[in-house]
Amino acid sequence: MKRLFILVCILSAAACAQAPAKQVVFFSFHHAQLDPPEYTFQVSQDCNAVYTAKPRHEEKTATNDPDAEQEQEPAEENEQGERREVRLSDATCNAIFSAAKSLDYFKGDFEFRKHKVAYTGDRVLGYFAPGVSNKTSFTWSENPQVQQLSATFEGIAATLEAGPKLQYLRRFDRLGLNEALKKIEEQARKGWLKELQLLAPELQSIANDGQVMNIARQRARDLLQLAQAATPPAAAKK
């Protein structure tokens, strides 16, 4: 948890320095046994978001093919991890800031302390604006709004992490692509994945790839339709 607080302090300061005139909602997650084990979100009120993730560093599987090993090199990362800039839907963005306001911009203790609960990771929510710097940490909260907000960020992270996996399978394991798409579809229909439209570039590439099995291409098309249906028209800013 100490390491997480250090990371939050660094990124919190960065958020305020980069956007002093903006309101920013911050979220971080850490669980050493998951992949990625650590990630953060910074969402501005204009719906632009920065996602930074630190992947697990595992030993590579030995291979006799040097070209294959080179192909599997991870995307370029800096010391802070892989950084991605995305734009969230107006509905999700408005919901995030509305929840932050309802929760008094995270000025409080939302940790559940009545009894021990199963460990699911360390989480931090923060709010930064000119003259304001609030953050609260928890592993689990019984507050429904905190639960929903955490689930939203974790669902967006899961969607973003699915993109590189689909790209990898399309290049190196086309037979496994359909199963991965099936799992994504199941998670999306159950509401576990959020902002499915962020996967549109990868899904469109699969749908247009004549070397991919027809069943996988059709599933990619179905997911594109699902993403379109799940993204409501732009709503007025609050």
pLDDT in tens, 182-210: 999 999 999 999 999 999 999 999 999 99
Assign 6 a pLDDT band (cuts: 50, 70, 90). Answer: very low
Segment 79-91 shows an average pLDDT of 88
Please report whether residue 238 resides in a domain.
Answer: no
Q: What is the pLDDT of residue 55?
A: 79
Please report whether residue 110 resides in a domain.
Answer: yes
Question: pLDDT exceeding 90 applies to what percent of the chain?
Answer: 74
Please report whether residue 237 resides in a domain.
Answer: no
Segment 54-64 shows an average pLDDT of 54
Q: What is the pLDDT of residue 57?
A: 60
Q: What is the pLDDT of residue 80?
A: 56
Question: pLDDT exceeding 70 applies to what percent of the chain?
Answer: 78
Look at residue 92 and tell me whether its pLDDT is greater than 70: yes
Amino acid at 231: T
Segment 65-94 shows an average pLDDT of 67
Q: What is the pLDDT of residue 229?
A: 86
Please report whether residue 50 resides in a domain.
Answer: yes
Whether residue 28 contacts residue 43, with contact meaning beta carbons closer than 8 Å, is answered with: no
Cα separation values, 105 from 9, 28, 108, 174, 177, Å: 17, 16, 9, 45, 41
Please report whether residue 199 resides in a domain.
Answer: yes
Please report whether residue 151 resides in a domain.
Answer: yes
Cα separation values, 185 from 39, 42, 188, 191, Å: 23, 27, 5, 10
Q: Domain containing 9: what range?
A: 2-230
Q: Structure pTM?
A: 0.81
Please indicate whether residue 235 or residue 186 has the higher confidence score (pLDDT).
186
Please report whether residue 236 resides in a domain.
Answer: no
Please report whether residue 197 resides in a domain.
Answer: yes
* Domain count for the chain: 1
Q: What is the pLDDT of residue 162?
A: 97
